[in-house]
Structure 1
Amino acid sequence: MKADQAELVTSYADGTIGVTIKYGKSYEDTWAVFRGTVRQVRELICDYFGFECKDETGLSLSDLVVNATNLAHGKGNIASILDARVISETPAQAPADDPWAAASATKPEQTSDNKSAWILGEIEKAPSIDELKKLWAANQAMFADPAVMAAYKARGSALKNG
């Protein structure tokens, strides 16, 4: 970790620690301070930065702080350099009479439970035998399905004769 990225870790007499993660290099930049036991600080950092704690449990607290620091620095840079701002993941309520909002709020209906539907569609769209071969090379496991292999052979034949 570079010296300017080093974060402040403080040990207290009561056995707790404090971790300070800065969003930038200057004193005026935002800081996030976490205090508690190592486990509490880990959970606080995960919650604060939106990390899935189960994904972070294999990391040491030091590694978790590095990941959080990188995220904080990235957000800080985006905000200061690009004059950007963070927006909510949930969109603001659109007016009730907005047909575009109503259309985008509806979820597409699942047309098939067939796990091979995607590859079958790609096989059908393949414009050449070379593209068909590339599709097979990149997705070999999907070709264990007899229906996929049959579609592959049929498309290859159609391209060869067409």
Structure 2
Amino acid sequence: MSELSVTIKYDKGHDATWAVFRGTPGEIRADVMEFFGMDPATQVGLSLSSIVTNATQIAHGKGLIATSLGATVVEETTHEAPAKPSEDPWAAASAQQASSPWPGSVSVAEPKAEEPNAWILGEIEKKATVQELKKLWAENQSFFSDAAVMAAWKAKGKALSAA
């Protein structure tokens, strides 16, 4: 087949970052997937056009994050298996406790000195929905290293789920 050229831009502007791929469709397919860190197994059966569309979405997403939020890529790893849904969302949440996606969370209020977990236990009891409970967990990770707090959070979650 003849040689092709594919250009993927990270944004609309002329000064935006772009990547150019040249070669046969098979070479471009492999190069695009490698360049954007795409898992070839997830792209099986897709046309080159579809792979370029997926790569363009990745490029636009990274470009938007970089320009809008000033973010930079620090490390990309592919050796970890993707997260799989669990039958019990509360068990999955407690398994993620140590590797929370929100490191260094800041607590909203200081706990009382005589009972360091009084505030968080009170907040857990106040929550009326599972979503509110999940948000509390996400915003106050430092409290959930205590087994009693985690047990109270799980119990409240199960009670709300059963209601």
TM-score by length of 2: 0.48
Greater relative contact order (CA < 8 Å, ≥ 6 in sequence):
2
Which has the higher Rg, Structure 1 or Structure 2?
A: 1
TM-score, normalised with respect to structure 1: 0.48
